[in-house]
Amino acid sequence: MKTRVNQFLIVALIALTAFSCKDEKKNEAEATAAEEVKEAPVEAVVYNVDAANSMIEWTGKKPTGEHTGTIKVADGTVKTKYGKVESGNFTIDMTSIEVTDLEGDEKTSLEGHLKGEGEGKEDHFFNVAEHPTAKFEVTGISEKDGQTMIDGNLTIKGKTKNISFPATTSVNDDMMELTSDVFTINRTEWGVNYGSKSVFENLGDKFINDDVEVKITVKAKKA
């Protein structure tokens, strides 16, 4: 009897641990209505995005595993005062989506699917033929639990939502860098619905998580 009780407790503990890990979200960025873009004071210092060294790293998950990748930040500006971000806007090159955990045909196939290449697959994910760029515009800077939060409007596939994420900034001579912590967005807020069990029924275990983990790195040079 004691053995059965112990086995039950072990199974229950494993199930609880798995459930907890599955539902854990890193810095969940709630999507809300778009807000007014923040304007910097005239005396702010302007930095132009260094596209060669700026990117977004992403992780998408499903029951059978996960995929990782990058997207390039094409251009944009950041304006600072006394070394702190006052405003900013970034153009994201959606045609540059790259998968970093696969190689060969698998890599090419998934990248094509994400971009919307192939008849009937155009709008499964990002449909880059119709929406080749995405955009982020700073609407405010706030503090939460001792961390600097960047608030801004994120536009993907023509849909604009306001999000907030923790980030650090540094200025060194004529260069500045903005680096976010890893944070989570719900892709369906921007109409990226493929494989979402919150949108489609009867997917069984063939679904893809709505939540996508994101990390932003923007390097910029003084204008």
Phi and psi at residue 55, in whole multiples of 5°?
-160, 165
What are the structural domains, with CATH classification, of the chain? Answer: 28-222 (2.40.128.110)
pTM: 0.87
Q: What is the pLDDT along the chain (223 residues), one digit of tens a residue?
A: 544 544 444 443 343 333 334 446 778 999 999 999 999 999 999 999 999 999 999 999 999 999 999 999 999 999 999 888 999 999 999 999 999 999 999 999 999 999 999 999 999 999 999 999 999 999 999 988 889 999 999 999 999 999 999 999 999 889 999 999 999 999 999 999 999 999 999 999 999 999 999 999 999 999 9
Contact residues for 140 (Cβ-Cβ < 8 A; gap 6+): 35, 38, 151, 152
- Residue ranges with strand state E in 123-207: 133-144, 147-156, 159-172, 175-180, 183-186
Which residue from 223, 216, 221 is spatially nearest to 55, judged by alpha carbons?
216
- As to burial, measured by CB atoms within 10 angstroms (0-12 exposed, 13-18 middle, 19+ buried), residue 29 is buried
- Tell me how many helices (H) and strands (E) the chain has: 2, 10
Alpha helices (runs of H) in the chain, residue ranges in sequence order: 2-23, 104-115
Q: Distance between the two ends of the chain, CA-based, in angstroms? A: 75
Q: Contact 219/175 with Cβ under 8 angstroms?
A: yes
Containing 45, the helix (H) or strand (E) segment is strand 45-49
